Amino acid sequence: MSVLNGKKILLGVSGGIAAYKTASLVRLFIKAGAHVQVIMTPASKDFVTPLTLSTLSKNPVYSSFYNEEDENEKWNNHVELALWADLMIIAPATANTLSKMTSGTCDNLLIAAYLSAKCPVYFAPAMDLDMYKHPSTIANFYSLAQFGNVIIPAETGELASGLSGEGRMAEPENIVAFIEDDLSSKLPLKGKKILVTAGPTYEAIDPVRFIGNHSSGKMGYDIATCAANLGAAVILVSGPTNYNVSNPLITIINVISAEEMYVACHQFFGDVDVAIAAAAVADYKPKNIAKQKIKKAADNFVIELEKTKDILASLGALKKNQFLIGFALETENEIENAKQKIQKKNLDLIVLNSLQDQGAGFGKPTNKVTFIDQFFNQEPMELKSKESVAEDILNKVIAHFEKLK
């Protein structure tokens, strides 16, 4: 999955021959899973049509502050466009547009949006070789870098003038690869390994029956997905669920029983930086598993149970430098029970949720949690989607590593 997946990209197209390549660039962004809106300078429409980019981006293309053919139509809000974007890409960035970006000469919609942008801005220069090496151009490159913009260096090749040299806009696939590499390198959990457990465990009674619970696994899968999107390599140890993931940074280890989850967690724990135990592991399992299906004969049937191994406590006992996060689902004395778990299991953070809270618990798309750290500091959160709760949890992980710097 591309790091651009789900990103909102505002593509600014200025008036150079390389503008024809933006059709391919838009297609590649869309293929990577991004949402694209395009702003064109009036001059760029001589090189590629708004209809082409509108069709490929599946959005209207903007090139002026208002529709000159309809004086009653609302204006094209450059601030709204700029604030919508997660990323702004200006390609091609001609010498003229670079100069305006540097000086703040705001005479078209593209520059107005650029000056209003709060997001990262990338620009891909395109001009003839002498223009590319001119002191004024080099000065503009330096100034734009000082502003926090990122240059996608021009490539060497045949130019529109007939000359050959540096100044050719980077090919669309190289632009996409450059942005992906740059974003990936800046992800806050890049280089970290995170172990996540998810879902229920099933403890066999006989070949067809088991003891389980109502956990869907969604919370753990959302945590794993969020961690991978932030750059972490994730090992997801999952009990039986209907969920799946496709992010190449996530390795799924499928297990069924608490014993299998215990073994998998211990296999990987020593090599990770963080462990987040979101699985709803069975506390007890049948002491003896019938080899054949148990027939319905007697009016009463007794199953002798024995405790399963406490995965989280065992990881806490082995913990060295790992940041260890547990979950607590409680129905009474929630805070006190959670505090006891922190101490008994040597946790750095516990995520408490109560079945007393509307919208929390198993099988729901939402959760309402309270964070309690090892010093018993409490942070109650409002009801949120489980995706948002996952983000909050990973923000705690990020904050932990920020403190260590």
Residue 333 dihedral angles phi and psi, to the nearest 5°:
45, 45
In whole angstroms, give the CA distance from residue 94 to residue 134. 13
In whole angstroms, give the CA distance from residue 321 to residue 323. 7
Is there a contact between 178 and 170 (Cβ–Cβ < 8 Å)?
Answer: yes
Q: Is the pLDDT of residue 355 over 80?
A: no
What amino acid occupies position 238?
S
Residue bearing tokens 């694209």 = 36
* Level-2 CATH architecture, domain 193-404: 3-Layer(aba) Sandwich (3.40)
DSSP string spanning 34-68? -EEEEEE-GGGGGTS-HHHHHHHHTS-EE-SSS-T
- Average of pLDDT values for 331-345? 90
Residue 201 dihedral angles phi and psi, to the nearest 5°:
-115, 150
Domain 8-185 has CATH 3.40.50.1950: yes
What is the pTM for the complete model shown?
0.82
Q: Of 59, 213, 337, 346, which residue is the catalytic one? A: 213
Q: Is residue 285 classed as helix, strand or coil in its secondary structure?
A: strand
The pLDDT, as a whole number, for residue 188 is 95
Q: Is the pLDDT of residue 70 over 60?
A: no
**Does residue 201 or residue 70 have the better pLDDT?**
201
By CB atoms closer than 10 A (0-12, 13-18, 19+), residue 131 is middle
The pLDDT, as a whole number, for residue 297 is 80
Q: Is the pLDDT of residue 69 over 80?
A: no
Is there a contact between 127 and 94 (Cβ–Cβ < 8 Å)?
Answer: yes
Q: Is the pLDDT of residue 333 over 90?
A: no
**Does residue 334 or residue 373 have the better pLDDT?**
373
Report pLDDT digits (tens) over 169-188.
999 999 999 999 999 999 99
In whole angstroms, give the CA distance from residue 156 to residue 169. 9
Q: What mean pLDDT is reported for the chain?
A: 92
Cα–Cα separations (whole angstroms), residue 268 to 44, 116, 196, 223, 244: 54, 46, 10, 18, 20
Is there a contact between 208 and 293 (Cβ–Cβ < 8 Å)?
Answer: yes
In whole angstroms, give the CA distance from residue 257 to residue 350. 23
Beta bridge partners of 328: 352
Is there a contact between 150 and 120 (Cβ–Cβ < 8 Å)?
Answer: yes
Confirm whether 8-185 and 193-404 share one CATH topology: yes
Dihedral sign of CA atoms 28, 33, 248, 186 in order:
positive
- Average of pLDDT values for 222-240? 96
**Domain residue spans in the chain?**
8-185, 193-404
Q: Is the pLDDT of residue 330 over 60?
A: yes
Q: Is 213 designated active site?
A: yes
Q: Is the pLDDT of residue 357 over 80?
A: no
Structure tokens, 62: 């903007």
Report pLDDT digits (tens) over 89-113.
999 999 999 999 999 999 999 999 9
- Average of pLDDT values for 138-158? 95
% of the chain with per-residue pLDDT over 90: 81
Is there a contact between 170 and 193 (Cβ–Cβ < 8 Å)?
Answer: no
The pLDDT, as a whole number, for residue 161 is 82
- Average of pLDDT values for 40-66? 93
